[in-house]
Structure 1
Amino acid sequence: MAVDPSFTDLPTLPPEMDDHLVKVIFVGSAGVGKTCLVRRLFSDAFNPDTRATVGCDFHFKRYMFDKKSIGVTLWDTAGTEKFQAVTSNYYRGAQGVVLVYDVTRRETLDAIERLWLPEVDRFSTFPEAVKMVVGNKIDMEGERQVSPEEGAAFALRHGCMYSETSARTDAGVYDALVWGVLVNIVDTPSLLRSNEPERLRIEQPAGGEGGEGEGRRTHGAGGGSCCG
C-alpha cells in the first residue's frame, strides 16, 4: 500500500490524545464492495468471501497528518433498500461520504443518483461534507459497463470528487480514500472537530479504548458475498 509521507498511520495511543475526530460513511448498493474497501483501508486485507453487511459495521483507525493525530471512524453500511431508514441515522456527524458503485453493474451507478445522493442531501449534518464517487472492481475490466470518463462526468455533475479502485488488487484505494477524502476533510476547518471525550466514548467502536478497533450494529440476518 502506498503511503503519502504527510498522512501516515499512527501507533496505538489513548483516545484522549487524538487532536481531531473524523467520521466517514460508505454508502451504495449491495455487492459493490464497500466492505472490502473499508477492510482494505483498515487492515490492508482482502477476503473474496466477505458477506453482505447487515445494518452497519464500523472501524476505527488513527493517522498522523501535519503533526496532529486524526482519529478516523469508517462506517460501512448495508446496501439493501430495506435498511435505508436505518442507514439514514448514520449520516449524522459524517464529514465524509463515499458513494460506491460497481463499474461492471451500471444499475449501481444509477442507484447513487436515485437513492444515495438524495439521502446524503437530506440527512448529512454538514452541507460542506466531502463527497467522493468511487467506481470499484476495476480489476474486472473485461466486464466493465461504466467507463472512467462517464463515472468522472457523473461525479462532476453532482459536485463530488471521483476515483476508481479495486479492493481486490488494492489499486487506488489509499489514494482515493486517504489522500482524496481524508486530506480534503483535514483541509476544511469547518469540518474538523476537536477531541471531545464524552462524544468519543459514545462513538468509539468496539476494540478497546487504547487502539484501533471495529464493531457492528446489526438489524437482521445477512448473506451473500459482496466484494470484488
Structure 2
Amino acid sequence: MGSSSKGGNNSYDYSFKILLIGDSGVGKSSILLSFISNSVHDLSPTIGVDFKIKMVNVGGKRLKLTIWDTAGQERFGTLIGSYYRGAHGIILVYDVTRRETFTNLSDMWAKEVELYSTNQDCIKILVGNKVDRDDERAVSREEGMALAEEHKCSFLECSAKTRENLLQCFKELILKILEVPSLLEKGSVVIKQQVLKQKQGYQAPRNGGCCS
C-alpha cells in the first residue's frame, strides 16, 4: 500500500485545502504555527494571506495539507473568492475572551463561508481559542456549542499557547473530510492533475525542435 518513493512531492494519497478564518487577533496564526512547528513564537499580524504545508499520516493515508491563514479584518477584494475556492475544511476561530470575535463569526464569517465556499460538503469546525485565559472568559462553552449546532459543525475549545486540544482540531477535521466521498474525489484530483502536468512537461521537448 505504501506510495512509491519516486515523484517526491507526489507521494501522498490526498491533498486537502484547509482555511483558518475569523477576526484578526483571535490566534489563527498561532494555531497554524503551533500545528506546523509544534511551537508558538511571538507573531506579527498576518497581512493578506499566508499558507503553510504540512504532511500528515492519518488512518494509513498520507495527506498533504495546505493550510491558509488570512488577516481577519482586511477585506481583500478580488482575493476572497479564490481564498475559499476548493476548500475541503474550514476552521472558524474566535477568542473566548473577546465577545465580538464570537458575534462576528455568526454575523459575518459564517455567511461568507456560505457565499464563497465551492465544495458543498466542506467540513467546518468551530474553535474557541485562548482557553488558557479562562478567568477572562466572555463566551461560555455552551454558547460555542449552540453556535456550532446552528451551523452544523463540530466544536472544540483550544489554546494555541498551551497546545490544549490543538492537534485535536486538525485531527477531527481531517477524519471528517476522509469520511466524505466527494471531498476525497476532489482531494485526489489535484494529484492526478500534477502527475499529468509532469508527464506533459517531460514530453514537450521531444515533440518540439526536431523539424525546425
TM-score over 0.5 for the pair: yes
CA deviations over 1:74-108 (Å, ceiling 9, x no partner):
11111014336533421111000000000000100
Name the CA distance, whole Å, in 1 between partners of 2:109 and 2:124.
11
Distance verdict in 2 for CA 1:93–1:45, change over 3 Å: same
Q: Contact 1:93/1:125 (CA < 8 Å) preserved in 2?
A: yes
Matched, 1:188 2:184: no
Which structure has the larger Rg?
Answer: 2
Higher helix share: 2
Q: SS at the partner of 2:132?
A: coil
Q: SS at the partner of 1:139?
A: helix
Show structure 1 runs of 5+ residues with no match.
Answer: 1-12, 202-228
Report the equivalent of 1:67.
Answer: 60
Q: Contact 1:88/1:119 (CA < 8 Å) preserved in 2?
A: no
Report the equivalent of 1:15.
Answer: 9
Q: How far 1:123 moved relative to its partner?
A: 0.8
Report the equivalent of 1:39.
Answer: 33
Q: CA RMSD in A?
A: 2.0
Name the CA distance, whole Å, in 1 between partners of 2:80 and 2:133.
29
Q: Which runs of 4+ in 1 moved over 4 A?
A: none
Q: How far 1:25 moved relative to its partner?
A: 0.3
Q: Contact 1:77/1:87 (CA < 8 Å) preserved in 2?
A: no
CA deviations over 1:156-195 (Å, ceiling 9, x no partner):
11111100010000000011222x1011101111101212
Q: How far 1:51 moved relative to its partner?
A: 1.1
Q: Which has the higher contact order (CA 8 A, sep 6+)?
A: 1
Moved more, 189-198 or 18-27: 189-198
